């Protein structure tokens, strides 16, 4: 059984799926880190792979860009493919002056300018947050690697080219960085009763104007990927 966006067979995905935005980054993770990786989905070129990492089944599949896109793919993985954990591994733009290029940031929560949560008909504002078990595990894995990751709020925005020019205002409330997917992923996990976490690498800084070239974004975020894979192994042992 497939979906309109996923041709994989039932059981083709592991319980934990790493989800970068870029299909080429999904391919890189599969080919670099997974043993016996096989392509299980390629509808619309959104590549999904399953293999093993240190003997643990792990999948990786792209989400595309933006909340509508990750909203579709994560919903289908949670509801139709019995996936328990989705770890977004993506890039983000630093809003906090404390962040440097290539810093690994973990999203405890996701502020948003999106109306994504309107669909749930709640009588107020839903606060999308990470699953604590995934977050706690990721911080522990990172520390064992010698990394002390900043943990806090990200901003999930519907717009990349913000004509209002007010993105930095979120920094006044301690928001660390901006990206375009996490709030929808966290909403979907909450609705499905599943787990989600976003781990991002700072690819550019809205403070300094520095940025990494696209090729580096695709292949150099290995620290973030290794943390996420370590979490997948530990979750399989819990």
From 113, 169, 204, 216, active-site residue: 204
- Which helix (H) or strand (E) is 205 found in, with range? strand 195-205
The SS3 of residue 117 is: helix
Residues of the chain by 3-state class (helix, strand, coil), percent to 5: 35, 30, 35
115 catalytic? Reply is: no
Cβ contact 57:85 at 8 Å? no
Candidates 31, 52, 32, 38; CA nearest to 8 is 38
Tell me the two tokens of residue 125. 């504002």
**H-helix segments, the chain:** 23-33, 67-80, 132-144, 182-192, 214-219, 222-237
Tell me the two tokens of residue 140. 């522990």
| Cβ atoms within 10 Å, residue 228 | 29
Which residues participate in catalysis according to the annotation? 204
């Amino acid at each position: 059984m497939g979906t309109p966006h996923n041709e994989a067979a039932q059981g083709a995905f592991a319980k934990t799926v790493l989800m970068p935005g870029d299909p080429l980054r999904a391919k890189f993770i599969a080919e670099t880190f997974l043993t016996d990786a096989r392509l299980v989905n390629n509808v619309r070129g959104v590549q999904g792979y399953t293999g093993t990492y240190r003997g643990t089944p792990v999948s990786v599949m792209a989400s595309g860009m933006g909340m509508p896109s990750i909203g579709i793919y994560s919903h289908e993985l949670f509801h139709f493919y019995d996936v328990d954990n989705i770890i977004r591994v993506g890039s983000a733009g630093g809003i906090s002056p404390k962040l440097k290029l290539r810093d690994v940031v973990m999203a405890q929560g996701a502020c948003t300018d999106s109306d994504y949560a309107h669909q749930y008909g709640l009588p107020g504002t839903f606060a999308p947050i990470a699953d604590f078990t995934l977050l706690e595990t990721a911080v522990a894995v990172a520390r064992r690697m010698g990394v002390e990751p900043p943990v806090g709020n990200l901003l999930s925005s519907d717009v990349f080219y913000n004509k209002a020019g007010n993105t930095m205002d979120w920094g006044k409330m301690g928001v660390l960085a901006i990206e375009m997917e996490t709030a929808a992923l966290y909403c979907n996990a909450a609705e499905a009763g599943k787990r989600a976490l976003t781990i991002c690498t700072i690819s550019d800084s809205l403070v300094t104007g520095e940025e990494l070239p696209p090729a580096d974004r695709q292949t150099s975020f290995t620290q973030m990927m290794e943390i996420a894979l370590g979490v997948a192994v530990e979750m399989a042992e819990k």
